[in-house]
Each structure stands twice: as C-alpha cells, then as structure tokens.
Structure 1
Amino acid sequence: MDQEIRDFYARGFERERLRGGNGRLELLRTQEVVRRFLAPRSRVLDVGGATGVHAEWLAADGHDVLVVDPVPSHVEAAAALPGVSAVVGDARDLPDDGPFDVVLLLGPLYHLLERDDRVRAWREASRVLRPGGVVAGAVIGRLAALHDGLRKEFPLDTRYRALVEHSMATGEHLPPADTPWFTTAYFHRPEEAADEARAAGLDVVGTFGLEGAAWMLPNADLDALYDDPVRFEYLMWSLRETESEPSVLGASAHLIAVAAKP
C-alpha cells in the first residue's frame, strides 16, 4: 500500500465514516448484499478489513472471521474484536489458511490502480476459497468524484475539476497531497469488476449497486430517514429494487461484484 494511502487511513477516516450519513447507507447495503451469500457459521476471509468494521457484525452473526490487512494498527484493532482473528497481509498474496466459504474484498480493489493487480487479488481470493464458495468485491463507481462535487464544496478548489476529468477518463483518482479529498484510488465502470473476476477464472453471479442515487442526499436528510421507519423501509426497498438496473448502476458510489469459484 502506498504511504499516502496509509497516512490517509491513519487519520481514522474509516472508523467514523460508516456510522452516519451516506457512509451508514453503504454499510447497511453491504450487510444486505453479503448476507445473501452466507450460510450459517461460514468461514469468512475479510481481505483489507481494516479495523474490523465488517468483521465485527460478521462475527456477531456467528461466522468465523479472519481479517487480513496491510496496516499493523488495523490488524491490532480488528484482532481485539470478539470472535475475530487478524493478520498482516496483502490482497495479492494471501495466507494459506483456507479453504474459506466466503472471501470479502471490500477494501483492496479500489486501491490497486493496475488491472493486473486487481485480477491477481481476485485470483488469490479464488485460490483460498472452497469450490462453490463466493468472492464479494467492492469497488467505487467511476462517477463518484463527479457526484461528490455536487454534495460538497470541493469544486471551490479550482483543481477539483481536473481531478474529476482525469478520474472519469482513466479511472485514476489522484488527489493533490494538500487536499481533504479521498485518497489515491481506482474508480470502476459498472461492468469492470465483473470482467476482472472473470479474468481470474470465477463465475460472476452479479453486480449490485449499493446506494444508487440516494447517497447524494445531504447527510442530515439521510440521518433523518434512518429515524423514520416508514421512509427508511421505502429507501431500502427502492435500493433493492434497482440494485441491478443498468441505468442506475453508474450513479452508485459503491458497487459489489459477486463471483463463485467453479
């Protein structure tokens, strides 16, 4: 992992991001999608699992969870969670602790800028997976920076439009070091993650948009929705109804591609 990316996560960004606003929506929808592919008491490898934000609820659901992450402080925090084990490692060179029923790539794929590295991560996930098991890989949508500029004051910095134009054209999100913008990443087109999984020899089950266009609502409005049972149920229903709709996938900030090992 590049030092810039390590420094970004060392600021504790990820710990708080999923607790409210559109981050909470990403977490809730990730739980919905991943739980569909988990049998009771599955053995789960959470690659790039950071401090264990997903490992925590997976262990609480009764699954056996191993976190692999390149940042030692993340591993220490994840290992302290009840029912979670954690080791330092790289998505492109996983430990030989399989076979697993499910492998989660919920963090690594958008921090690997080269396609060969992303395919290698999918291939490594397949290697430690049991036959018939599934890999779920999360990616950031190609238009995420464009849409983030509609929600925030980022465009007031005259460099932001060039950043967006470059990410839209190439997928590479390369922010200047002196900005509060999301760190170095690769932003996928809706079909790309599935193509990379196929290149690794996996059978694609589907690609699911997590937040649709709802993530562009102000965080205060989303937090109010979470407290309103009727509107919250409608929000989640609407996202489930459109999660595979091609015309909507490109609007989602995050997508999950699910693929099975033959």
Structure 2
Amino acid sequence: MNNIIDYYNSFDEWGRLDREPIEFQVNWHYIKKYLPQNGNILDNGAGPGKYSMKLATEGYKVTLTDLTPKLVEIAKNKAHELKVEQNFNGFHTADARDLTVLEDEQFDASLMLGPLYHLQEEADRIQAVEELYRVTKRDGIVFVAFMPRIRHVLTSLLHPENWKPNNEMDNIAQFAQTGCFNHEDEGRFTGAYYFNVEEIKPFMEGQGFESLALIGSNIGALVSSDNWSYWRDKGENEFEKVIKLLTEKASDPNVLGISSHLLYIGKKKSNI
C-alpha cells in the first residue's frame, strides 16, 4: 500500500481526468442514469474527489474515502473552493478493504472507481467488495471500476518500452495469465491488477450484487493525440458529436476489451 500512496502523492489524478475527459463524461453519463434522484452517496477510493464534487454539485450528500491522506486533503480544499462543503458528510482516510469508519447499509449508492486496480490478491479484492456491500443499502446501486487485461496486453505490444517489463514477450505472456503488473521503472503505475472482461460480472455477482451493466469508460483511449486534435479543429459542434458517439458505444459489449477502464453497475441484492 505504501507504493500506491507514494504514486498518488506525486500523480495528478484530477488532471488525468481533465486530460482524458472522455472517461469522466462517459462514466458520469451512466452514473447519473442509474443513480437515485437524491440520497447519501459514498465515493470510496475517491482520489482528489472529481466525482464527489460533481455529486455534491448535483445536490447529493457525499461521503468521501481514500487511502492517500494528501488526496483527502485536496478533496476537502476542492469542496471549499467550489462551495459545496455543506453537501459532504465526511472526508476519511481509509483502506477500501476496511471501512469500519462507516456504518452498515448507510448509502443509497456507492462508487468504487479505483481501489480494485491495486489489489493483486483475490482475497483483498473480495474483502473490498464485501465492504462495499456492507455499507450500501439493500437495493442500493454500486459503480465499480475495473481495468481490462486484454487492453493492457495490446498497450504493451504497442508501447513496450513504456510498460517494462512488458517489453519482453515472455513477460507479456505471464501477465496475460496472472493479470498482475509490477512496473520496472520506479515511480510508475505499479502493483496493479487487470481483470479478464468475462470474469467481472461473475466476480461481483459472487459477492451479492445483481449486474445491471458493464460499460467501456474510455474506448477513446485508442484515439491518438493527433486524432483528437483533428476532431477538435473541426469545431465544438463536430467534437461534441464524437463524444456523443463514444458515449453511446460505451455500452456495446464488443468494445469492452479495448477500453482502458470499465464501469460495472450493479444492485445490492436484498438477500444472498
């Protein structure tokens, strides 16, 4: 966990979502579609609180948790800056596997858009989802982010020197089997776990959730900077059509493996 904290202490996660606006816009489109009209929302593993601020701005009562104290502090400052502090019920430094700071069945909906990226042991992943289940109300909606394994295989083939040790085919083959990735270069995204797409719904259903949807949050990751510049240069109206198309196609199961991130949407079953 210390490596993860060190990484996010130096990485600009808020800026990443600004630089890659497709992911945030697509996720928010589907989050808003499935959210209740009002209520208490948990943003678990919230980072600097990009989604939390949007939820608070929309009038939801938000509780924010994250593993990294620095990011929790940034989120507090953002809430103050945006004048939405009154819509926050708390900012907590907490591990997604241990949410004892929160009561049972407290939230009408819960987001967990990051913690599963970093839990390489299955027992830890199960524990995090069990905690999400515990704090979410019966029939509450959950939004959980995953990274697809096949996408990282393809990314490694395309940019091998950027994803060491996946600059060697034997290492890529091993990664394809295990889903575990540990970057050779210090300070890079590491200690990561990537799911096979077909395993995501059964994994969540095994922890007591009914699957509602699985979305490709960022199929636009395939589009190069030059490509994005091309569409932006055509004007705002044309660029908005690109965003609309990618948002609509995000729910097409054929694109899940090429998206850099996936959004699982489920409902807590009344009993298991």
**Alignment TM-score > 0.5, same fold:** yes
Contact kept? 2:222, 2:258, Cα under 8 Å? no
Match of 1:25 in 2: 22
Whether 2:61 is the aligned partner of 1:68: answer: no
Match of 2:108 in 1: 101
RMSD of aligned residue pairs (Cα, Å): 2.4
Match of 2:256 in 1: 249
Gaps of 5+ in 1: none
Displacement of 1:69: 0.9
Contact kept? 1:167, 1:187, Cα under 8 Å? no
2:117 paired residue among 97, 104, 110: 110
Letter in 2 for 1:173: F
Displacement of 1:155: 5.6
Query: In 2, Cα distance between the equivalents of 1:186 and 1:64?
Result: 31
Match of 2:196 in 1: 189
Higher helix share: 2
Query: In 1, Cα distance between the equivalents of 2:161 and 2:151?
Result: 13
Query: In 1, Cα distance between the equivalents of 2:192 and 2:163?
Result: 22
The percentage of counterpart residues that share the same residue type is 28
Query: In 2, Cα distance between the equivalents of 1:151 and 1:24?
Result: 22
Q: Cα deviations across residues 162-184 of structure 1 (Å, max 9, x unaligned)? A: 55333222111111143x64222
Contact kept? 1:154, 1:160, Cα under 8 Å? yes
Q: 1:158 and 1:116, CA in 2 relative to 1: closer, same or farther beyond 3 A? A: closer
Match of 1:209 in 2: 216
Query: In 1, Cα distance between the equivalents of 2:162 and 2:64?
Result: 37
3-state SS, counterpart of residue 136 of structure 1: strand
3-state SS, counterpart of residue 93 of structure 1: coil
Match of 1:37 in 2: 34
Contact kept? 1:142, 1:171, Cα under 8 Å? yes
Query: In 2, Cα distance between the equivalents of 1:157 and 1:177?
Result: 7
Letter in 1 for 2:95: D
Task: Judge which range, 56-65 or 6-15, deviates more.
Answer: 6-15
Task: Judge which range, 247-256 or 230-239, deviates more.
Answer: 230-239
Match of 1:89 in 2: 94
Equivalent residues in 2 for 1:49-198, closer than 5 Å: 49-80=46-77, 81=79, 82-83=84-85, 84=88, 85-94=90-99, 95-97=101-103, 98-149=105-156, 152=159, 154=161, 160-162=167-169, 163-178=171-186, 181-198=188-205
Task: Judge which range, 243-252 or 106-115, deviates more.
Answer: 243-252
Q: Cα deviations across residues 8-33 of structure 1 (Å, max 9, x unaligned)? A: 1111331321112xx22111111112
Q: TM-score of the superposition, structure 2-length normalised? A: 0.85
Displacement of 1:244: 3.4
Contact kept? 2:156, 2:163, Cα under 8 Å? no
3-state SS, counterpart of residue 191 of structure 1: helix
Q: TM-score of the superposition, structure 1-length normalised? A: 0.88
Contact kept? 1:151, 1:218, Cα under 8 Å? no
Task: Judge which range, 215-224 or 105-114, deviates more.
Answer: 215-224
Displacement of 1:150: 6.2
Displacement of 1:79: 2.2
Gaps of 5+ in 2: none
3-state SS, counterpart of residue 190 of structure 2: coil
Query: In 1, Cα distance between the equivalents of 2:230 and 2:223?
Result: 11
Query: In 2, Cα distance between the equivalents of 1:53 and 1:79?
Result: 11
Contact kept? 2:143, 2:266, Cα under 8 Å? yes
Q: 1:221 and 1:3, CA in 2 relative to 1: closer, same or farther beyond 3 A? A: same
Query: In 2, Cα distance between the equivalents of 1:16 and 1:205?
Result: 30
3-state SS, counterpart of residue 36 of structure 1: helix
